Structure 1
Amino acid sequence: MNQEKLNIILEKHEKWLRDKGGERADLSNIDLSGLDLSGSKLERAYLKNTNLTRANLSNVNMQSTYLIGVNFEEACLTEADLSNATLHCANLGGANLSGVNLEGAYLIRVNLSDAYLNWVNWQNIKGLTAVIVQVDTTRRNNQITYIKELDIWTTGCFQGTLDELKAAVEQTHKHNEKLRNRYYRVIDFILNEVAE
């Protein structure tokens, strides 16, 4: 599908969402790789086995949408709203999920390998174990998040393994023992939580 045809479908879907006529979007089994859907309102659209590889989905609204078998590989989903969405067998490998709202989302057999997961809202997520702790640091609203199934830690602009997190804490806060110890207390708390 080309961008022009996609824009017409998206426009009709937005009208349908506002009860102004239009038509519910059915983008199932369609190749939309590399296309621009940024800022689109796709709530309740049909997206099954849709190919969105390397597509621009920044600021897209897919609240409460069923995303079954969708390929988001290397797509840009920055600031997208996937709250209460169901992602089943979706491929998010290498996708940029910075700032994505996944509150209440249900992730079933989702591939998140090499995805960029900083600043994601993980609250009430289902299907993954995410432990999020607010940390009083030099930055406002700083959080440390650990996603158990992926063995990934995130905080601020950092994403990596536990060893990489500890090295980053040592490097960044080498002159502030109080803050460094605070990070380690939070890390220990998270590890104890997931061990239970």
Structure 2
Amino acid sequence: MKRSLAGAALGLGLLAVTATAQDMMRGIDLSSPDMVSAEMTRTQVETAIATATAAPADFTGRRLSNLDLSGLDLSRAIFRAARLNKTKLVGANLDHAVLDQAWLIEADLTNANLKGANIFAAQMARAHLDGADLSKARVAADLTGASLVGASIADARLGADMRNQSMGLMRAVLKSANLERLNARGADLSRVDLEFASLKGADLTGASLKGAQLGGADLTGATLVRADFEGADLASAKLIAPIGLDQARNFDKAKNLDRLIRD
């Protein structure tokens, strides 16, 4: 049974590879036991971590939704196609963890360490990542409505790799996300969907926003030193009291500058 569940989960992952992360939501019953229940207890997860000495703990395809795994050391653990919906991972160490095709809808990752994590084609709508550290992580996930207040994505890669897009445009989606005071220094946000996101007070120093969708986004008080706006869509975006706009790169090459809201 467990093998079949893992296979089904990996099948969903393959679906993400042939479309976009958002397409995985279509036809999925998020209230089904498969999406809201857990097949392991916290104690069993701890045991799996403790006994995984030769290789990282592997939770591929596991149902771990609604568990409280706060504070656990899950560094380098593999959660490929795992279900972690509404799971509490507050303060957990997920350094270099693999979360490809995982389900983390409304998961609580407040203050979690996700440095260098790989999060590809994952579902993270309305996830809580306030204060989380995703620096140098690879994130191509659906984070619609997520909260990353005071989080760090410094030097992280959230943008689309245009050398490998045969499976569709795979990049982070942060539509309507709360990104206030986000540390995005040096981050790759090229072609990322940031429509209606709140970037108030965010630090975008040296970030690439090439081709990013910023329609309706609020960049009030954001630091824009050396941020690259080439091809970014700024229709109805708010740019009030920005810091270092005169040092931003290719701002004149952004789209819909005539529809930008300024003070």
TM over 0.5: yes
Corresponding position: 1:7 with 2:49? yes
Relative to 1, partners in 2 of residues 1:192 and 1:65: Cα closer, same or farther, differing over 3 Å?
same
Matches for 1:5-154 after TM superposition, within 5 Å:
5-7=47-49, 14=58, 24-103=61-140, 105-123=141-159, 124-128=171-175, 149-151=197-199, 152-154=202-204
Matches for 1:155-194 after TM superposition, within 5 Å:
155=205, 163=221, 165=223, 183-190=247-254
Deviations 1:130-150 (A, max 9, x none): 9xxxxxxxxxxx667595613
Counterpart of 1:85 in 2: which secondary structure?
strand
Relative to 1, partners in 2 of residues 1:26 and 1:185: Cα closer, same or farther, differing over 3 Å?
closer
Between the aligned residues of both structures, percent identity stands at 25
Relative to 1, partners in 2 of residues 1:188 and 1:35: Cα closer, same or farther, differing over 3 Å?
farther
Letter in 2 for 1:110: A
TM-score, length-normalised on structure 2?
0.51
* Cα drift, residue 5 of structure 1: 2.4
Distance 1:9 1:85 in 2: 27
Contact 1:39 1:59 in 2 (8 A): yes
Between 77-86 and 144-153, report the one with greater CA deviation: 144-153
**Higher strand fraction: Structure 1 or Structure 2?**
1
Distance 1:109 1:66 in 2: 15
Letter in 2 for 1:44: A
* Cα drift, residue 153 of structure 1: 4.0
Deviations 1:53-100 (A, max 9, x none): 000011000011111121000001111111111102210111111112
**Higher helix fraction: Structure 1 or Structure 2?**
1
Counterpart of 1:27 in 2: which secondary structure?
coil
Aligned to 2:233: none
Structure 1: unaligned runs, 5 residues or longer: 18-23, 131-141, 170-179
Distance 1:121 1:64 in 2: 17
* Cα drift, residue 192 of structure 1: 5.1
Distance 2:173 2:123 in 1: 9
Distance 1:84 1:129 in 2: 19
Distance 1:194 1:90 in 2: 34
